[in-house]
Structure formats: C-alpha cells, structure tokens
Amino acid sequence: MTNGYELTDLGTDAALLNGYWEAQRGDRAMPRRADVDVLDLPAKLWPRFILLGVSYEPLRLYYRVVGTAVAEMVGVDWTGRYLDELTVATPSVGVQNMETIEQRKPTRHVFNFCRADPEIDEIRELRFERVLFPLSDDGARVTHLFGAVFPRIAMERIEGS
C-alpha cells in the first residue's frame, strides 16, 4: 500500500479486502475482474464497496458500483457516472485512482471531505479511508478498480478531548 502507510496500518475491514485481493491474485500481478465478486465479501462491506471501470484513449473512470454508505457519506450516488463529470469529488480521489492505475498495486489514502449537511444547516467535515485494488483483464493494463471507503475519526480530535 502507498501514501506512507504500511499494511499494518490497515483497519480490520480494509485488511480483509487486501487479503481477498491477494487470494484472487494468486501468482499474477493483478486479479481479473471476473475473479472479484462482491458476494464473496462479508455483507457488512457491501455498503462501502466501490467498483470503477477504466477506459483508455482518453483515460476515463466510470463508477459501476457505489455502495449505499459511500453514497450517503458524499451526499450523492455516483453509480453510472464518469469521475470527470462529478463536481463533488475531491481531487485527492483522482490522485489515488491514478496512483493505483500507474503503479498497478493497491493504495490506501486518508482524505478529508467537506459537504453541506442540510439536517444541521452547516458544512460537515468528514474524514475517511479509501482503499483501492487494481484489476486487469489482460494481465498488464488496469481495467477496473475495486475497493471500499471507511469513515475515520480524526486522531487529533480524540487526543484533544
């Protein structure tokens, strides 16, 4: 994993996804899309699951699946949308996507994301962990990304309490 984090830094659920990716990968650089089935994962991960298709010339990412917890967190369901069409996505999401595609290895990033919360009539800052895993149908080029998004509590807020 990248972004300055070691595998030991992964939360329990992210580590579960990493183990699944490794098992599906076997001795290949990356598993194929056909090797990954969300139903193989524990049901508690389904709402946090994301699956993106990668197309080239031009490079575009398409949200095939966005779990309900992810859609609720960002305030909109991105399923069926291209990343470059979204105005809500933080630029760091695109950076992580590109890092995963270019390195052809899993990545883990922790992001801050701000969104308007009409229930409390103010801007809410969210902190979340996003893990991504590359998939390749031809064994060389990344054709899909799958992963999950998990809420995080800012450690500085815990320590400051």
Q: Sheet containing 49-55: which strands, arranged edge to edge?
A: 60-66, 49-55, 144-152, 122-135, 107-117
pLDDT digits (tens, 9 = 90+) for 97-143: 999 999 999 998 887 766 655 565 565 566 788 899 999 999 999 99
**CATH code of residue 27:** 3.30.450.20
The two tokens of residue 49 are 């699951």
- The CB density around residue 100, as the number of other CB atoms within 10 Å, is 24
Kindly state whether residue 2 falls inside one of the protein's structural domains: no
- The vertex-112 CA angle with 16 and 116, nearest 5°, equals 115
Q: Where does the pLDDT of residue 93 fall: very low under 50, low under 70, confident under 90, or very high at 90 and above?
A: confident
Structural domains of the chain, count? 1
Domain holding 51, by residue range, is: 7-152
Residue 12 lies in a domain: yes
Query: Is residue 158 domain-resident?
Result: no
At residue 65, the pLDDT reads 95
Nearest residue to 140 via CA among 57, 30, 33, 20: 30
The pLDDT score that the predictor gives to residue 155 is: 45
pLDDT tens for 19-68 read: 999 999 999 999 999 999 999 999 999 999 999 999 999 999 999 999 99
